Structure 1
Amino acid sequence: MINDKEIVLTEVMNHEYSTLLRTAQSYVKDVMIAEDMVQEAFLKAYEKFDSFQQGNSLRAWVFRIMINQCKDYLRSYTYRKVSPWEDQWLHVVQADQQNPLAIMVEKEDNEMIHEAIGLLQPNYHEAVQLYYFKELSVKQMSSALHMNENTLKTRMKRARDHLGQCLSTHKEKVYSA
């Protein structure tokens, strides 16, 4: 018999799986391991569902579990001693009606932005991921990270400043070459 927690978690999984996967991949830098992190996060959410405090955002709670799962993995012996397999063949580019030059420019811009985000300090990276990619409000981020809202706003400002600086430096290099 399906109970309420299965229904609620299934709904979160159906709506948030792709964003959870992208976030996990930004942490662990490997698609297959990211899939494992998301699956383990849902298993842990299922097991610990009774400890979820009503009134809080379930979505933010699941993201917090997944982020902690990724951090634990990055601290683990397995990650530090085994080099991950590069799964470049899994990346499939879908062509659309744009011209090839526009597709290439957009792809390079996206890669540059993701690379710049990946180089952020972990605290800034986490704030950017939750705010821009998970679309959590500052209040939701505050409850998920157990942090003051003003601290998060400061981190977001510093992250934006750093990203702007990195991207403008990169563009200067490209156009001067």
Structure 2
Amino acid sequence: MSVSVEIGDLTHVEADAVVNAANSMLLGGGGVDGAIHAAAGPRLLEACRRLRNTSHRDGLDIGDAVATPAFDLPASWVIHTVGPNLHRGQDDPARLASCFARSLDVAAELDVRSVAFPAVSAGAFGWPAADVARIAVATCRSWLAEHPAASIEDIRFVVLDERARDVFEAALRAG
């Protein structure tokens, strides 16, 4: 099992599942969410609308996760999770940790081997990258230790630049 970080574009990553930093409505948005919806094509929005019309009528709660097919992405699955928005006073680190843990729960249910995460809640949601990296790395490592029989072998954090990579690498070294 490995946990690593790389600079890249999440929409081009070859992994069994990519995690989408979604909004609670699951209908696309900006940033990572918008990029994933654009790259996956219109069937992703249709799949999200079906979720909204069935199991997630009120949207997806902060810290929860749900999967759809990835359609035109190189991945097989998109795991949507809603991170806490620090600008809205959503500052509980447990809610952020839940994004990573619930995404891994869903990935394990799908029997995937590799999962690629963005820096959920960093950027537009205002969480400092160092906090996101520390929480993400600790949560993923803890999840792997608690689920040794899970199919997941490779967890990657895919970030946009060297600064974010350095922050995640520091978190990986510290843990």
Structure 1 length-normalised TM: 0.29
Greater relative CO, 1 or 2 (CA 8 Å, sep 6+):
2
Higher strand content, 1 or 2: 2
More helix by share: 1
Larger Rg belongs to: 1
TM-score by structure 2 length? 0.29
